[in-house]
Amino acid sequence: MDLQPIYQLCQNSKIGKKLPTALYVHNTALKALSPELKLYESNASQKLDCAEKATLIKFYTHQPKISYLFYPDFDIDPHPALQASIQVNLETGEIKYQDYSKSENPPILHRKETFVTPDYPHYQKFAQLTKSEELLGLLNYTSRIGTRQGWFQVLQEKSIKIKSDHSVIQFSREDAENEQTYTLKIERHKAAMSRNSLSKPVRLALEANLFTPDLTFFDYGCGLGGDVTRIAEKGWFAEGWDPYYQPDTPLIMADIVNLGYVINVIESQDERRHALIDAWELTKKLLIVSAQVLINDKNQGQIAYGDGIITSRNTFQKYYEQEELKAYIDRVINVDAIPVALGIYFVFRDRTEAESFRASCFRSHVSTPRIRIEIKKFEDYEEVLTPLMAFISDRGRLPVKGELPEESIIKQEFKSFKRAFQVILQVTNPEEWEAIADRRRQDLLVYIALSNFDERRNFRNLPTQIKNDIKALFDNYQKACTLANLILYSLSSPSIISDICQDSHIGYKTPNSLSVHVSALAELDPLLRVYEGCANRTIGRLDGATVIKFHTQKPKISYLFYPDFDTDPHPALNTAMHIDLRDLSVNYEEYFHLPNPPILHRKDTLVTPNYPQYNKFAQLSQQEEYLGILDDINAVKRRREWEKCLQEHCVKIKNHRLLWRADADTEMVKLLKANMRARRKKSKNKNTIEENPEEFLNPEL
């Protein structure tokens, strides 16, 4: 369908609200449109029984679609909410319905006079409201005011109220605060959540091995006490206090204190500040702070209140920006909080422990080189030398005095660590040890680059073990910092990042991106690890992130969650978090509710060859490539289209293997097999699969 005439008609229309890709008109203004647009619209409306009840009609200028939008309160609400929409595809006849009636944060309208004709009964009232809002600067926040919650937040910030008669009232800040103080009673205890597992902040601390033996735990603002119960069940001393549920429990000092989603439910800024200070004063080793973080997602049941919002349950929620949350923690208790996930921070009492934790976040996993040559002398000392091998594998260097508990035994036999290592080199591959040292150098460079991002860390304040690593692997701290700074400088060049992504030996590449499994991150060039770290150090990764996507045409990192990555041959995307590195804005998307979600192909390209399921993944991709079903990835990037493609090619997937369908057309299968033979002959890797295409895809019996 040629849409150029439609585009021109929409652009030339004197009626309606024009956007770059659409024209919106009120149903009463249809009669004022050109005859061609009216005819075009009638082709869509005749497919519906309720088109005449729609409030607005949306003409798409770049797609053969028309949408009917229902705003039942258009006349009486200054900024009415969208109740429902019906979209008609004029090319395919497909009709899509979307219900917003139960949404707690629906899209809303502004500039209502632009949708109607000047003779509309309320035109002047609408126009006057828009003029007032423009003078007050309310309509400048285009990225925020499109939904009810965003609009309320802007009104709150400006101390403005829009009355039902479309008039505007501006309060002083003091009046606005007083009005709220005396009209709302916040029920904080209703924000407490009942969980059947550990909360994410406490779970992350547990997974980071920060719960050492004989450690004590205190939950400040424990709510219903789920974390206290579960930590106690695991063998640690655990107590909790809550002003509503457990007010009589004494406040006691503990090694780890959790302030979990507490500060965001306190409406008083002064009380919020004191809660953070009190929790920090109870902390001996680690304070876990978490709060709700504001991201570009649909918030539910909320109205503006103070510096936060009131939910539909009459509880207060203060939504922080991620950087704002860190700055708040750092300022109130004078620390350098470490982000571990979105809205979750670890605050260590000891600075060296904080640096050790930071460094551990960038340490890649390596295996100890295996014994390749059996020598009698080594067999006699293998038990003595095993701890030394483990240490060198872990640090990439020889230990210094006092670092290895077995030091005296080893030196008693070999006089020095260096001599002992010479015995190890006789039975192992020296290149593997050098590769480990090189990997540890890269790990340190990533750590130093990200640690020095804001200001250079003082060498004296680093943990002793890290100082020893730097001395052994770089000679001195100055040299290590110089190399780390070179990496940071390179981040400012999009072309360098793009080139490194395209040259990467691992990952799924497109013209605009490189995607890797999280397990393969350490295999990437240090520059890409630092690039990802810029997002991770401030925002944190999406919980359960499976795939990391580097965008090469814009400074952006995406974290994608595929819960069935290992088990599903083509797993569906569950959630995604996109971080714009220019302003660290976060966009969050959910796909799990979609009937036709995006799916993943060529999983083998995302992981390293030593990934447990690599061979299985690679074999499936190879089968699919020879059958030709991956030739046009865009055509099969969603579940339904992929399933249709499999059916058209007479195959099904079982246990990561393609199988001929038992009900497949015999002649069609013959043609497909012939095509496979031809593709195999043209392939440069024709020896990588079975010689006989008939056997390559086992028939379903």
Q: Kindly report, residue by residue over 283-307, the tens digit of the pLDDT.
A: 999 999 998 776 544 334 333 333 3
Q: How far is CA 576 from CA 383, 591, 675, in A?
A: 48, 8, 38
Residue 259 in domain = yes
What's the CA gap between 407 and 417, in Å, rounded? 8
Q: Lowest mean pLDDT of 24-38, 96-110, 231-245, name the range.
A: 96-110
Residue 145 in domain = no
What's the CA gap between 153 and 473, in Å, rounded? 52
pLDDT bin (cut points 50, 70, 90) of residue 186 is very low
Dihedral angle sign, alpha carbons of residues 396, 399, 404, 410: positive
Report the mean per-residue pLDDT for the chain.
Answer: 85
pLDDT bin (cut points 50, 70, 90) of residue 510 is very high
- Indicate if the pLDDT at residue 211 is higher than 50: yes
Are 395 and 537 in the same domain?
no
Q: Which one is predicted more confidently, 358 or 237? A: 237
- The count of other CB atoms within 10 Å of the CB of residue 344 is 27
Domain end position, chosen among 603, 621, 640: 603
Are 102 and 23 in the same domain?
yes
What's the CA gap between 238 and 215, in Å, rounded? 9
Are 560 and 665 in the same domain?
no
In SS3 terms, 535-578 reads as HHCCCCCCCCCCEEEEECCCCEEEEEECCCCCCCCCCECCEEEE
Residue 442 in domain = no
How are beta strands 237-241 and 216-220 bridged, if at all? parallel
Length of the chain in residues, anyone? 701
The reported pLDDT for the residue numbered 263 is: 86
CA angle 109, 113, 116 (to 5 degrees): 105
The reported pLDDT for the residue numbered 640 is: 93
The reported pLDDT for the residue numbered 288 is: 97
What residues make up the domain containing 665?
613-699
The reported pLDDT for the residue numbered 185 is: 42
Are 13 and 95 in the same domain?
yes
The reported pLDDT for the residue numbered 350 is: 92
Widest Cα–Cα separation across the chain: 102
Contacts of 263 (CB under 8 A, 6+ apart): 272, 275, 276, 289, 291, 318
Are 565 and 594 in the same domain?
yes
Q: Which one is predicted more confidently, 181 or 393? A: 393
- The letter for the amino acid at 297 is D
The reported pLDDT for the residue numbered 602 is: 96
| pLDDT tens-place string over residues 386-445 | 999 999 999 999 999 999 999 999 999 889 999 999 989 988 999 999 999 999 999 999
pLDDT bin (cut points 50, 70, 90) of residue 99 is confident
Q: Which residues pair with 162 in a beta bridge?
A: 168
What's the CA gap between 655 and 646, in Å, rounded? 15
pLDDT bin (cut points 50, 70, 90) of residue 543 is confident
Nearest residue to 267 via CA among 147, 156, 180, 350: 180
Residue 102 in domain = yes
Are 620 and 598 in the same domain?
no
**Contact at 8 Å (CB) between 395 and 469?**
yes
3-class secondary structure, 11? helix
Q: Which one is predicted more confidently, 103 or 508? A: 508
The reported pLDDT for the residue numbered 319 is: 57
Are 11 and 64 in the same domain?
yes
Nearest residue to 527 via CA among 561, 553, 560, 552: 552
The reported pLDDT for the residue numbered 228 is: 94
pLDDT bin (cut points 50, 70, 90) of residue 191 is very low
| pLDDT tens-place string over residues 337-380 | 998 888 899 999 998 899 889 888 877 777 788 777 665 567 77
Cα 117 from chain centre: 45
Q: How many domains is the chain built from?
A: 5
Contacts of 347 (CB under 8 A, 6+ apart): 280, 283, 286, 287, 288, 289, 329, 333, 335, 337, 338
What's the CA gap between 64 and 58, in Å, rounded? 11
Cα 627 from chain centre: 34
The reported pLDDT for the residue numbered 302 is: 37
What's the CA gap between 82 and 69, in Å, rounded? 7
The reported pLDDT for the residue numbered 684 is: 55
Are 523 and 636 in the same domain?
no
Are 193 and 80 in the same domain?
no
Domain end position, chosen among 115, 141, 170: 115
Are 212 and 286 in the same domain?
yes
Q: Lowest mean pLDDT of 268-282, 291-305, 413-427, 599-613, name the range.
A: 291-305
Q: Percentage of the chain with pLDDT > 70? A: 88
pLDDT bin (cut points 50, 70, 90) of residue 179 is very low
Domain with residue 236: its CATH number is 3.40.50.150
3-class secondary structure, 7? helix
- Indicate if the pLDDT at residue 646 is higher than 50: yes
Are 619 and 574 in the same domain?
no
- The letter for the amino acid at 543 is D
| Token pair belonging to 475 | 């000679």
Q: What is the mean predicted confidence (pLDDT) over 46-65?
A: 90
The reported pLDDT for the residue numbered 697 is: 57
Nearest residue to 356 via CA among 444, 282, 439: 444
- Indicate if the pLDDT at residue 134 is higher than 60: yes
Residue 458 in domain = no
The reported pLDDT for the residue numbered 124 is: 92
Residue 28 in domain = yes
Residue 363 in domain = no
Domain end position, chosen among 69, 92, 115: 115
pLDDT bin (cut points 50, 70, 90) of residue 321 is low
- The letter for the amino acid at 686 is K
User: 582-618 burial string, b = 16+ CB within 10 Å, else e?
Assistant: eeebbebeebeeeeebebbbbbbbbbeeebeeeebbb
The reported pLDDT for the residue numbered 254 is: 97
What's the CA gap between 566 and 606, in Å, rounded? 12
Are 524 and 555 in the same domain?
yes
Q: Which residues pair with 346 in a beta bridge?
A: 288, 338
Residue 410 in domain = yes
